[in-house]
Amino acid sequence: MFRMVFFAATILSSLIMPAATMAEAERGGVDLTEPPLSAEGPVIVRVGVYVLNLAAVDEVKETFQIDGYLTAVWKDDRLKYSPSPGSLLRSRTFREEQIWYPHVGMLNAAEPRSKFDITIRARPDGTVTYRERFVVTLSTKFDVARFPFDRQKLTIYLQPIWADREIVTLVSDRDLLQLNQAEYVGMAQWNIIDLSQRTTSENVGGTSDRISQVVFTILVKRRYGFYIWKVFVPLLLMVTVSWTIFWMSLDDFGNQILVAITTILTVIAFAFSIESNLPKVPYVTYIDAFFLCCYFFVFLTVIELMAVNIVLRTGGRELAIKIRRSARWSVPLVFAVLNAILIPHFFLR
């Protein structure tokens, strides 16, 4: 019975302590809603994020959505206290309107972030921890030149709000940085590789004044299995089918032209069918270059077919045989060499 009363008293004291602290501060002429500035300069606020889930990535709009926790830690000597002997609680909890806390914004947010589950706790030494759960859609620069074998850096630019730019200095804290390793994290198309952060600053509105900034970077890698089996392998098979005309009889012109034209139409139809799965960017990606290469070599078989047919009709059968035999190995070889050139062009620059 005594333990139950003691525990209830401890809980009750933790609930009324913040109010008592506020009352003591007011009697002493201290406004806890003002920033805890000192002669040493701005309030140093250590920040970090805990990424719970990567919810969406849109290469066309160049946006991504994440769900996570934002944590900020700073020192406020006005909130120091001596814990009650035997107290089970290690901190005091405050409401947002009771004390000052740093207001930060995500500079590259495509829309205001949703905040909930906000907690503010102060420890006996005056260390204050602010934590919020957030969901936000952010914009970032995508480079899909190596698509679908690309990696992307999804960035979050965290700054104090404009009114706090001179009284708050944000710094990154590795201890506050965490990435959820659960199986549901990430997306079917993306795999999260790493999460990092760095402290920087930037000019304010073209002036010489600078504002502190912490940049969080989520490194993600595209899972390219879908494109290997649903795009590259079918395209290779289509191009290989077009080369079967090199082994047909020179006099079987009807079947040769049927295979060549059918292959061209199939490749075009295939390109339209997977267009929705390709990024719509103004520059050539690796998969675009591979498509163009396949187009060219399917069309090349038609050129070879017409050249052989013209030579046959003018009586140069021996020349036609030489052209056909040469095409059997030269066309596949040039195709392989050209693709070998494309790889370093896109991946070694």
Examine the pLDDT at 300 and tell me if it is beyond 90. Answer: yes
Domain with residue 139: its CATH number is 2.70.170.10
| 62 and 123, same domain (yes or no) | yes
pLDDT at 66: 93
DSSP 3-state assignment of 324? Answer: helix
| 230 and 219, same domain (yes or no) | no
pLDDT at 11: 43
Examine the pLDDT at 202 and tell me if it is beyond 90. Answer: no
Residue at which a domain ends, from 196, 223, 250: 223
pLDDT at 186: 66
In total, how many domains does the chain have? 2
Examine the pLDDT at 165 and tell me if it is beyond 90. Answer: no
| 50 and 114, same domain (yes or no) | yes
What DSSP string describes 190-246? EEEEEEEEEEEEEESTTSS-EEEEEEEEEEEEE--HHHIIIIIHHHHHHHHHHGGGG
| 167 and 184, same domain (yes or no) | yes
pLDDT tens for residues 98-154?
999 999 999 999 999 999 999 999 999 999 999 999 999 999 999 999 999 999 999
Examine the pLDDT at 335 and tell me if it is beyond 90. Answer: yes
| 236 and 321, same domain (yes or no) | yes
Residue at which a domain ends, from 197, 223, 249: 223
pLDDT at 209: 75
pLDDT at 1: 45
| 158 and 69, same domain (yes or no) | yes
Mean pLDDT of the chain: 86
* Prediction pTM value: 0.79
pLDDT tens for residues 37-85?
876 789 999 999 999 998 889 887 889 999 999 999 999 999 998 887 7
Number of H helices, E strands in the chain: 6, 11
Q: Which domain holds residue 146?
A: 2-223
pLDDT at 37: 81
Residue at which a domain ends, from 171, 200, 223: 223
pLDDT category, 13, cuts 50, 70, 90?
very low
Domain with residue 315: its CATH number is 1.20.58.390
Strand pairing category for 151-160 and 210-222: antiparallel
Tokens of 267: 């490749």
pLDDT at 2: 38
User: Closest by alpha carbon to 49, among 166, 157, 127?
Assistant: 157
| 209 and 120, same domain (yes or no) | yes
| 211 and 238, same domain (yes or no) | no
The whole-number average pLDDT for the span 332-347 is 94
Listed in sequence order, the residues at least 6 apart from 42 whose beta carbon sits closer than 8 Å to its beta carbon are: 166, 167, 168, 169
The whole-number average pLDDT for the span 311-320 is 88
CA distances from 149 to 214, 220, 228, 265, 337 (A): 29, 11, 10, 27, 20
pLDDT at 18: 53
| 66 and 200, same domain (yes or no) | yes
Chain position carrying tokens 């109010």: 19
pLDDT category, 227, cuts 50, 70, 90?
very high
CA distances from 283 to 31, 142, 146, 296 (A): 57, 12, 11, 19
pLDDT at 290: 95
